[in-house]
Amino acid sequence: MRTVARRRPAAARVLDEAPGLRAMTAVMAIMVFLTVLAGALGLGTASAGSLLDRQLAGRLTVQVVEGEPARADAAAARVLAALRTSRDVASATAVPRAELEALLRPWLGGDAEEAGLPVPAMIDVDLRDTSDAAVARVAATAIAASPAARVDRHARWMSPVGGLMRSLTWLAAGVVLLMAAATAAVVVLAARAGLEAHRGTIEVMHMLGSTDLQLARLFQRRLTLDALVGGIAGAAVALGVVLLVGGQLASLGSELVGGIRLGIADWALLALLPLGFALLATLAARWTVTRALRRTL
């Protein structure tokens, strides 16, 4: 064991004994863990928001509100026929009245029709053209067929949800940037602690001919290794958490929540975060040590 210890580079032994350097592994694991979670949230909400926009951009619901069910059905049939002749409409489908009554039953009960409560006829419309002009033409066609028709654009009443998704994406991006800045600050503090702990040794190495760049590389190598090991450990745990949460979200059966999913490129980007943090630690350590050596030694 003594022979092995003697063969270890002196610089490695010095840096291993430096206060704070060993703690870098744990600190980096925590930093990367939180960063991967924030990154997964941002990528997932961005994906869900994009999917929501695509699904709702060309969808309309036409309601035909009449007091009597027979009149409502007749008016809905006229509106449906008119919509199917429109060049802006890809498809128009009448929603069965039984399905509407089933949807309203939790709020109105099973006797809504007997109580005289009107149940509007509804038509789902998919557009070929999602522009505002196309929506206006389709609305005009529906109203011309029946003045009782009302057109609702899905993107309009779901826009707060899209706004929330975008806000969460930007928030996650901000958290990732803050974690990167905090990591750089931790590396700077660890490098300064190592310099203070071994000031005497560094002065001797300077007298023996070591340059500032050579000394910086010694600290840089140790800090980079600690950052890489801690980052890989933190990322592995975070990716496991993301997988677990993603499976639970998928099992809910909600189209909106189920849209929060990661693609192959997203997983690859999250897996590369430990390397990015290790590179950040390398640059921060070199800058800190070379700057401090020029000032004080």
For 57-102, how does the pLDDT look when each residue is reduced to its tens digit (9 = 90+)? 677 888 887 767 777 778 888 888 888 888 888 888 887 877 776 7
Q: What is the pLDDT of residue 33?
A: 93
Q: How confident is the model at residue 174 (pLDDT cuts 50, 70, 90)?
A: very high
Whole-angstrom Cα distance, residue 151 to residue 136? 9
Residue (of 230, 206, 207) closest to 216 by Cα position: 206
Most confident of the following: 8-22, 46-60, 217-231, 233-247: 233-247
- Please, what is the average pLDDT of the chain? 75
Which has the higher per-residue pLDDT, 25 or 295? 25
Q: What is the pLDDT of residue 19?
A: 47
Would you state the structure tokens that stand for residue 131, as one six-digit string? 């522009």
Q: What is the pLDDT of residue 237?
A: 93
Helix axes 273-296, 212-251, angle to 10 degrees: 150
In a 3-state reduction of DSSP, which class is residue 242?
A: helix
Q: How confident is the model at residue 155 (pLDDT cuts 50, 70, 90)?
A: low
State phi, psi for 94 to the nearest 5 degrees: -75, 135
The residues near 194 (Cβ < 8 Å, ≥ 6 apart) are 15, 18, 19, 20, 21, 219, 222
- Please list the residues that pair with 126 across neighbouring strands: 59, 91
| Letter string b/e over residues 222-236, b meaning 16 or more CB atoms within 10 A of that residue's CB | bbbbbbbbbbbbbbe
Most confident of the following: 59-73, 101-115, 133-147: 133-147
Segments in 58-158 forming alpha helices (H): 69-84, 97-108, 132-145, 154-157
Strands 89-94 and 59-64: unpaired
Q: What is the pLDDT of residue 177?
A: 92
CB 37 within 8 Å of CB 238: yes
Would you state the structure tokens that stand for residue 163, as one six-digit string? 């706004």
Would you state the structure tokens that stand for residue 152, as one six-digit string? 């609702």
CB 168 within 8 Å of CB 42: yes
Q: What is the pLDDT of residue 81?
A: 85
pLDDT in tens, 241-277: 988 887 777 666 555 555 577 778 888 988 899 998 8
Share of the chain above pLDDT 90, in %: 7
Residue (of 222, 207, 218, 215) closest to 290 by Cα position: 215
pTM score of the predicted model: 0.67
Q: What is the mean pLDDT of residues 141-147?
A: 83
State phi, psi for 90 to the nearest 5 degrees: -80, -40
- Choice among 32-36, 184-188, 191-195 with the minimum mean pLDDT: 191-195
Which has the higher per-residue pLDDT, 143 or 21? 143
Q: What is the largest CA-CA distance in the chain?
A: 101
Q: What is the pLDDT of residue 207?
A: 64
Q: What is the pLDDT of residue 236?
A: 92
Q: What is the mean pLDDT of residues 129-152?
A: 80
- Roughly how many angstroms between the first and final C-alpha of the chain, as a whole number? 36
Q: Is the pLDDT of residue 202 over 50?
A: yes
Which has the higher per-residue pLDDT, 46 or 211? 46
CB 121 within 8 Å of CB 97: yes
Q: H or E stretch including 161?
A: helix 159-197
